[in-house]
Amino acid sequence: MFTHFLCLWIHAALVLADSSYVPIKGQQCPSNFTYVRPANSLSQGELQFLDKRDVVTRKALVNWLSQSNLSDFDASTYLSDDTIRIGLAFSGGGYRAMLSGAGMLAAMDDRVTNTSGVGQLGGLLQSSTYLAGLSGGNWLVGSVAVNNFSSVEEIQSYSKLWNIKHSIVSPGGVDIVKTFSYWDTIIDDVDDKQDAGWNVSLTDLWGRGLGYQMFNESKGGQGYAYSNIREYPIFQDAEMPFPIHVTDRRSPDEYIISLNSSVFEFNPYEIGCWDPNIYHFADLKYLGTYADNYEVDANNCTTNYDNAGFLIGTSATLFNQFLLRLNSSGLEGEILNVTHHILEDMSSKSDDVSIIKPNPFYGIPEIDQNDNLTLTLVDGGEDLQNIPLTPLIQPQRNVDVVFAFDNSADTDDYWPSGTSLMYTYQRQFGPQANGTHFPYVPDNITILYGGWALQPTFFGCSLENLTSLYANDSFNTSTSSGNIDGSNVPPVVVYIANSAHSFYSNVSTFDLKYATSKRDDMITNGFNVMTQNNGTIDSEWRSCLACAVVLRSQQRRNQSPTTQCQRCFSKYCWDGSLFTNSTQGVTPARRDGLSNLVSDKVKADGETNSGVVTSYSHKLMFFCLLSFLSIMVV
């Protein structure tokens, strides 16, 4: 562990991060530089990464499958000339999603203690190709990726990371001087960016604050560019999954996000959108460079715009929503009135979004709103697709199975109900589908009350039942197992929803502080969700996951699942049934009638973590913060 954290300190020097938050203008562009391109393929950087990653994951997956107690299946022979691509998608939901997702991620990581025994899943992370996050799940993915692909266990052990015992608003707690110093640095940084001629928004503040919690970098990653990940040896050797972050475009003065929204993604190489109204990507390292219809001034490239905190804040503009909820914060009197006045003004000016200016896609005729020099992005879950599935169902990525980790707060008591799956399914029938497909899923009432949430569920198991999704595709299911014939077949979706196993993890999205013990309890519960209580709920759980992992590959070969896998699919594949009864008086439960609880005494949160600010030190801090906000709206 010490060696890995030594690497954390070394990698900062290797990538030569700039020490300023301000983007750097007027630089010579690289020779043969392409800043913006149509989205007709993956980037060259990602393609080169995949060439290496496929080799790494093939070896890891052979090992993982060989230890999964599969009957009548020889992994080394089966994967001798084949690749299975696994995607991991972590939902939004604030710190609840980050911490619950962290436990789920840790359960798949063979570097974490006690993940290699009976009932454990260690090695599945090492076998995965993609790691996607959105909103709170994006904090998890961003923190792990920027910190040199550290394990969750290593991050927990390092006191400066994921230290959320005080809120991001007042990290010093009763130490007012520490909080003032923190905000003084952040406000100076954002002031400097604005003084240099760049547009700023609340997301700049939010992102800088997140940087202190998420990154092992000087002053919370003050000058740390997300594209620096390209330079990590562990990334260049493809010894980590490819990280992807999801955000939505929201036009100025548009307040309701529909399924027609444009879903943007960013990764270490690019930022852009697969949707047909955008269908372009820009080089992330040079974000902030002025371009008009692809053309750039070769002597005026910009770097350091892609500050890591700013970008993960863009995918999760929770801070903006938090500030807009101040009428329930315990603030009172003149400070509350002044705050609301400022925030109303900011909202009317669309400063409650993340501002990318200049827009890299400016002037491109094929793109809608191409005359707008500003690109405005918001929380990736605002279109109700709270699990980042869109990047993983793109046909160019050839993902076979997606693990959809749902830590949303769909119900009144903050549990997930599969709502995100429903909206991603519906999106394929709208104008933004652009050739993507997603397996059939039921409505959220069925998922919750039919037992498909508390018990893990596989969607898209049977190819025969997917044929109506392919009205314009070449698709042949002429055999009993189904045959994939050149079609863009959606991946199998393994749906894992947050539920109480060892801790009641249904906390509010707006809880901004967690005692260290509560933080760790949340992570442990997520671990138990993923392992199904270390395999004690179902001794075949790991084997059944292995069956789901190889299913699409078997279907490509026109092979039928083994008897063991057929038994697994009867337990975990959605059978097409719908819940049509009244929900009144019905308590959600597992389909198999078993209990998720580790014991009869599941730990509950004994703290009041409302995520609101009431203390004297918080109020003093807000006067400091408001002085900056008032400048922004002048």
Q: What is the pLDDT of residues 393-408, one digit of tens each?
A: 999 999 999 999 999 9
Q: Pull the structure tokens for residue 314.
A: 């863009």
pLDDT at 289 over 90: yes
Q: What is the pLDDT of residue 464?
A: 81
Q: What is the pLDDT of residue 480?
A: 35
User: Could you tell me which of 200, 177, 179, 173 has the C-alpha nearest to residue 189?
Assistant: 200
Helices in 28-86 by DSSP H: which ranges? 44-66, 75-78
Query: How far apart, in Å, are the Cα atoms of 633 and each of 254, 350, 381, 626?
Result: 19, 11, 27, 11
Q: What is the pLDDT of residue 484?
A: 52
Report the domain count for the chain. 1
d(CA 430, CA 11): 44
Under DSSP, the state recorded for 560 is P
**Residue 625 CB contacts under 8 Å (≥ 6 apart), including other chains:** 183, 187, 205
Residue with tokens 């209580």: 533
- Domain span at 163: 2-632
Main-chain dihedrals φ then ψ at residue 247, nearest 5 degrees: -145, 160
With both helix axes pointing from N to C terminus, report the angle between 202-214 and 176-195 in degrees, rounded to the nearest 10: 130
Is residue 614 very low, low, confident or very high in pLDDT (cuts 50, 70, 90)?
very low
DSSP 423-440: HHHHHTTSTT-TT-----
3-state secondary structure of 394: coil
Of the chain, the percentage scoring pLDDT greater than 70 comes to 83
Under DSSP, the state recorded for 561 is P
Q: What is the pLDDT of residue 488?
A: 76
Task: Compute the average pLDDT of residues 187-197.
Answer: 93
Specify the length of the chain in residues: 634
**Region of poorest pLDDT, from 183-192, 245-254, 341-350:** 341-350
Q: Pull the structure tokens for residue 249.
A: 């475009």
**In CATH, what number is assigned to the domain containing residue 36?**
3.40.1090.10
Q: What is the pLDDT of residue 528?
A: 98
d(CA 149, CA 403): 19
Q: Pull the structure tokens for residue 141.
A: 């993915």
Q: What is the pTM of this model?
A: 0.91
**Region of poorest pLDDT, from 3-7, 147-151, 409-413:** 3-7
User: Could you tell me which of 366, 340, 257, 329 has the C-alpha nearest to residue 610?
Assistant: 329
Helices in 74-159 by DSSP H: which ranges? 75-78, 94-107, 136-146, 152-157
Task: Compute the average pLDDT of residues 1-12.
Answer: 45
Is residue 340 very low, low, confident or very high in pLDDT (cuts 50, 70, 90)?
low
Query: How far apart, in Å, are the Cα atoms of 183 and each of 176, 177, 193, 223, 624?
Result: 11, 10, 15, 16, 8
Longest dimension (CA), the chain: 72
Q: What is the pLDDT of residue 483?
A: 46
d(CA 506, CA 499): 8
Under DSSP, the state recorded for 626 is H
Q: What is the pLDDT of residue 12?
A: 45
DSSP 446-467: HHHHTTTTTS-EEE---SGGGG
Task: Compute the average pLDDT of residues 358-378.
Answer: 95
Which region, left, alpha or beta, applies to residue 422 given φ > 0 means left and ψ of -120 to 50 means alpha? alpha
**Residue 255 CB contacts under 8 Å (≥ 6 apart), including other chains:** none
pLDDT at 341 over 70: no
**Region of poorest pLDDT, from 14-28, 180-194, 506-520, 614-628:** 614-628
Task: Compute the average pLDDT of residues 565-584.
Answer: 95
* First-to-last C-alpha distance (Å) of the chain: 49
d(CA 124, CA 547): 13
Q: What is the pLDDT of residue 190?
A: 92
pLDDT at 558 over 90: yes
In tens, the pLDDT along 438-497 reads 999 999 999 999 999 999 999 999 988 787 776 555 434 433 344 455 457 899 999 999
Amino acid at 602: V
- Indicate the average pLDDT of the chain: 87
Bigger pLDDT: 130 vs 602: 130
In tens, the pLDDT along 239-285 reads 999 999 999 998 766 755 667 889 999 999 999 999 999 999 999 99
Residue with tokens 């070449």: 474
pLDDT at 552 over 70: yes
Q: What is the pLDDT of residue 253?
A: 67
Which region, left, alpha or beta, applies to residue 38 given φ > 0 means left and ψ of -120 to 50 means alpha? beta
Contact 271, 397 (CB under 8 A): no
Is residue 139 very low, low, confident or very high in pLDDT (cuts 50, 70, 90)?
very high
* Residue environment code for 322-337, b if the CB has 16+ CB neighbours within 10 A, otherwise e: bbbebeebebeeeebe
